[in-house]
Amino acid sequence: MVVDIEGAVKTKGSRYWPWLFVGLTICSTVVSQLAFKLAAGPVNGGAEEGLYRWINIWFIAGGAACLFGMVFWLAALRRLPVSQAYPWTAAVYVLTPIVSFFRFGDSLTWPYCVGIVLICVGIFVTTRNAGVES
């Protein structure tokens, strides 16, 4: 194991492992947000408020997904500089609303879709040469 100038750990093995971990982090975060939405119930929920209403299987699943996401993120950061990995986490802001649109019927307005495109462009711009010295 060798540590490079930016502090990223270089390990033997596939160069795709770090990106798999970044992808799993993103997926885990999206799943956790959707599970928390299911745990919270409908937007205009009934009168049965209280802690017992919030602690359910979806709440536990959301917490587990968060935990897995943190483990995957740590695994990614052991292999990549933050400047390369972190911009990709913005994909959560793209995927969560899209999945929510199909799963919960949330609205996706044109301005929101333009914002999603801008986020994708931002990810591309910030990661194009990330980790490469000029």
Residue range 103-117, pLDDT digits in tens: 999 999 999 999 999
32 contacts 62 by C-beta, under 8 angstroms: yes
Local confidence band at 20 (pLDDT 50, 70, 90 cut-offs): very high
CA angle 20, 22, 25 (to 5 degrees): 110
The rounded distance, in Å, linking the Cα atoms of 111 and 129 is 29
The rounded distance, in Å, linking the Cα atoms of 81 and 8 is 5
Q: What does residue 125 show for φ and ψ, rounded to 5 degrees? A: -65, -45
| Rounded average pLDDT over 21-28 | 98
The yes-or-no verdict on residue 15 having pLDDT over 90 is no
> Would you say the C-alpha torsion 29, 35, 40, 43 has a positive or negative sign?
positive
Read off the pTM.
0.79
